[in-house]
Structure 1
Amino acid sequence: MPLHIHTPLFESRPLSLAAGRSVWLKLDALQPCGSFKLRGVGHACEVHHARGARHFVSSSGGNAGLAVAYAGRLLGVPVTVVVPETTTERAKELLRLEDAKVLVHGGSWQEANELAQTLIGPNDAFIHPFDDPLLWAGHASMIDEVAQAGFKPDALVLSVGGGGLLSGVVEGLKRNGWQDVPVLAVETQGAASLHAAAQAGHTVALERIASVATSLGAKRVAEQAMECLRTHPVESHLVSDREALQACERFLLDHRLLVEPACGAALALAYNAQALANYKQVMVVVCGGATATLEQIQAWLATCPE
């Protein structure tokens, strides 16, 4: 059995009324470690374990690290996660609850990742947060489940950070013969590395991440995400931090499920009737996020510009 679970797919009455069309939810926030990351990370960990890996190393201040820690605990493999200094105490606590060794280094994921690379021994496997074909193959299972349910959306909405979810979803669409289903890829304005790549025609490095949606905080998207832009109908959309945070609060009220601002970005678009005007039946990937707290979301909202 895979480490991830099949997650619910259903039509959301509140979002459908707000958007003026049928909006369906793929609730990957209900994965055991709190996010979709377990699909790809679990697959990668299982493959490396079968190849003889005896230690997993990860660089992530959030959901990817939690997925590696969860997978390692279930497989009986020790895990070291290097997190940047910006990582919340809650995230570090959740990592330790999964028995991971947590090292703090640098002011960004890039710096944490540099240290992580030095820790990889001959019997170790490095599990990348987003840029690995094993991850994309695992994430594609989400679309397999949707196809098996007999539901085909007119469009699919998801959030983009480093591009791992986008790459996996596009792989899943293609292997199910759904090359005609467009992907609405959503980022917050301060973490829009895919949008910058779309404008430039190639991946570019952002000078800095200026968004509360830190899970979207990859300064440069994976090259595979750029390939998705070239080979699949992908629309790049931007929302503000405030819109993402408000969507988190609204979704909690509508569906009693708390997600982090990175997921709120996709939900913000889903609540927007104008953004979805060209489609009758839309599916939103509710990617989740284990480190969010309502108190933190409300505190961010209190200081967010109108």
Structure 2
Amino acid sequence: MLTLDKVYHAASVLKDVIRKTDLIHAPRIYPESQIYLKTENLQITGSFKVRGAYYKISQLTKEEKAKGVIACSAGNHAQGVALAAQKNGIRSLICIPDGAPISKVEATKSYGAEVCLVKGVYDDAYKKACALQKESGAAFIHPFNDPDVIAGQGTIGLEILEQLPDVDAVIVPVGGGGLISGVAFAIKSMNPKCKVYGVQASGAPSMAKSLEDHKIEELKSVSTFADGIAVKCPGNLTYDFCSKYVDQVVTVTDDETATAILTLIEQHKLITEGAGAVAVAASMFNKIDIKGKKAVCLLSGGNIDVTILSKVISRGLLKAGRLGDLTIETMDRPGRIKEISAIIADHGANVVSIHHDRMMENMGVNACSVKVRMETRNHEHRKQICEAIADAGYHVIP
């Protein structure tokens, strides 16, 4: 069903449509290895998804194209299908979960697609799309469980091997598994010694659990801000490909992903969505053995809503010890807040806000609590400040 020739054919079809994204050296992501970033977040439509969607639609017959296409998506596949349909002059209807970022929904509409918002997550949108497909007879463009779609995504593997022939490991985000299936198939077919690792959100580990149990497992629910990989159940094709070609699938927390997004912004001026940053998170937090190796982290997409981005940055700062709260119990006397602020300032931290509370339970009548939010360099810096405040005679509440 999938051959290397098909992947090369997909590359030929896509060469005048998509962007051959850069491979950027990122020495500070994980200094103990040589990390490179495959920047599919800078792809047209802001995601790798256009590769598989366009190649699939290009292979439809004239009769199939005449009936239009239908798809389901958390947002990125939607944009890929919408753009591919627009370029082929055919109608498209996309079912999208109602919780998808507004930016993804509006971008999909901008490519001329009709959008149907469905209450729930990706899997609910999938069921709705299947029902509408039966009614209309339109061609269904599956986001991951399709050989042509997988072949399109596999073109990324060809590009990586061309850009970094001696790569030791490739780290790929995993939702339904279409991306890693194509990438792993292409890479293992040409360089069997190269390791291919998958990364899922800990709140949506459908592929990781399926591989662990040696059978396809459907999760009861998923919970992660990485909506692009929030999939309850992998496909049968992608499960088979991952079982055969993927060396390991690990998980990262939302806090770890937020830290990775913040790191990519600060160090490399790159914006990624949650799903797009999980490979970097796995590298940063040592989830995969890549010490001393050349490894490529695939940044799968950059379509993050700005309102979510602001929250993610705050979470990333907290995780990295760059922003945090400190609660201090003291006697309610003039000058105490000034003294505490002076200690913080003397240690090079910045006070963001102060809340003074005289009414906390389990405190003396003349006591009060001072809650300080401050910007620090890291967790060690925060620890030093806490110790200095305690040495000054104040009680720091854990």
Q: CA RMSD in A?
A: 2.2
The question of whether the paired residues in 2 share the 8 Å contact of 1:63 and 1:289 is answered with no
State the 1:302 CA deviation.
Answer: 4.8
Amino acid at match of 2:76: N
Matched, 1:5 2:19: yes
Counterparts of 2:195 and 2:51 in 1: how far apart (Å)? 22
The question of whether the paired residues in 1 share the 8 Å contact of 2:169 and 2:290 is answered with no
Q: Which residues of 2 match residues 45-64 of structure 1 at below 5 A?
A: 45-48=57-60, 52-54=64-66, 55-64=68-77
Residues 301 and 254 of structure 1: CA distance in aligned 2, closer, same or farther (over 3 Å):
closer
Counterpart in the other structure of 1:101: 114
State the 1:123 CA deviation.
Answer: 6.0
Q: Which residues of 2 match residues 17-36 of structure 1 at below 5 A?
A: 18-36=30-48
> Which blocks of at least 5 consecutive residues in structure 2 are unaligned?
1-12, 320-398
Secondary structure of 1:140's aligned partner: helix
The question of whether the paired residues in 2 share the 8 Å contact of 1:140 and 1:168 is answered with yes
Counterpart in the other structure of 2:272: 259
Deviations 1:97-123 (A, max 9, x none): 111111112312222222212333676
State the 1:148 CA deviation.
Answer: 2.8
Deviations 1:179-230 (A, max 9, x none): 2211121111101111111221111001100111111111011223332343
Higher relative contact order, structure no. (Cα contacts within 8 Å, ≥ 6 residues apart): 1
Q: Which residues of 2 match residues 165-244 of structure 1 at below 5 A?
A: 165-175=179-189, 177-244=190-257
Residues 49 and 87 of structure 1: CA distance in aligned 2, closer, same or farther (over 3 Å):
farther
| TM-score of the aligned structures, taking structure 1 as reference length | 0.91
State the 1:50 CA deviation.
Answer: 5.4
The question of whether the paired residues in 2 share the 8 Å contact of 1:80 and 1:102 is answered with yes
Counterpart in the other structure of 2:129: 116
Residues 50 and 27 of structure 1: CA distance in aligned 2, closer, same or farther (over 3 Å):
farther
The question of whether the paired residues in 2 share the 8 Å contact of 1:155 and 1:279 is answered with no
Counterpart in the other structure of 1:134: 148
> Which blocks of at least 5 consecutive residues in structure 1 are unaligned?
none
Amino acid at match of 2:116: L
Tell me which moved more, 140-149 or 296-305: 296-305
Amino acid at match of 1:60: S
Secondary structure of 1:33's aligned partner: helix
Deviations 1:51-109 (A, max 9, x none): 64121111112101111011111221121111122223222111111111111123122
State the 1:231 CA deviation.
Answer: 1.9
State the 1:282 CA deviation.
Answer: 0.5
Matched, 1:280 2:293: yes
